[in-house]
Amino acid sequence: MKHFNQITACAAALLFAVSMTAVAKQDELPDITEDGLHRVSDSKLAIVYAEPGADLSQYKRVKMTDVYVAFKKNWERDQRRSAATLLKVTSKDVENIKANLAKEFHTVFVETLAESGYDVVDESADDVLLIRPAIINLDVNAPDTPRAARTTTYANTAGEMTMYIELYDSVTGDLIAKALDRQIDNPGYYTWANSVTNRRAADRILKGWASILVGALNEAREP
């Protein structure tokens, strides 16, 4: 898992760097990756690459690795520079936020998959799809820490995050597809920012990503 996290962090960072310049210029993205995946131009996620002829119809269950979470570059440093002494985040706060988001990601995906009949299991099998997810470029505008209990912060967005996800056959280990998608919380109005509102914002984004995965699995099983 540690080895995967390191690979995921490097791969996701590289793909994200490419995507930021390519979102406006989609023709700059390569059609075929070094691992032989072909770009899917018509998708619900910003960037998707898949194995030619990939078929998800055999997968009835899902196995999911731990979620890797990484903040936006220099996020912790910038928070400490801009926040009042009482509100400054600590290294412990950062680790708690990452752990909570990873847990919430797992919870939302498990619930969304289960609602559509896909159990999340621990074993590998012919009908089990292995997914390796990561959240990168996490940017929380108003982190709610214990020391901020007596303060009130208003913001027009909770922040943003980018999902990088890889899909594998759980038995053979073959890479089937990988995708990257950036989402920004944008309710369109200012609201009180705290742990509850931040979690709701995260859930909205996570639910959207989970629904896209379920939609792909369901579509593959249609006649």
What confidence score (pLDDT) does residue 14 get? 52
Question: In the chain, at which residue ranges do the beta strands (DSSP E only) sit?
Answer: 38-39, 47-50, 61-64, 68-71, 119-121, 128-140, 153-155, 159-169, 175-184, 191-193
Q: Any residues with CB less than 8 A from the CB of 221 and at least 6 apart, and which?
A: 56, 57
User: What are the residue boundaries of the structural domains of the chain, listed by start?
Assistant: 2-221
Summarised one tens digit per residue, pLDDT across range 121-159 is 999 999 999 999 999 999 988 776 655 544 444 444 668
Where the chain has pLDDT below 70, the residues are: 1-27, 82-87, 144-158, 187-194
Tell me the two tokens of residue 25: 């210029």
The number of CA neighbours under 13 Å toward the Cβ of 114 is 8
DSSP designation for 141 = S
Summarised one tens digit per residue, pLDDT across range 41-67 is 888 999 999 999 989 999 999 999 999
What confidence score (pLDDT) does residue 85 get? 47
Tell me the two tokens of residue 222: 């249609």
pTM tops 0.75, yes or no:
yes
What confidence score (pLDDT) does residue 22 get? 45
Contact in structure between 118 and 60 (CB atoms under 8 Å): yes
Tell me the two tokens of residue 91: 């290294």
Burial call 17-39: b when 16+ CB within 10 Å, e when fewer: eebeebeeeeeebeeeeeeebbe
Which of 49, 47, 63 is closest to 169 using CA atoms? 63
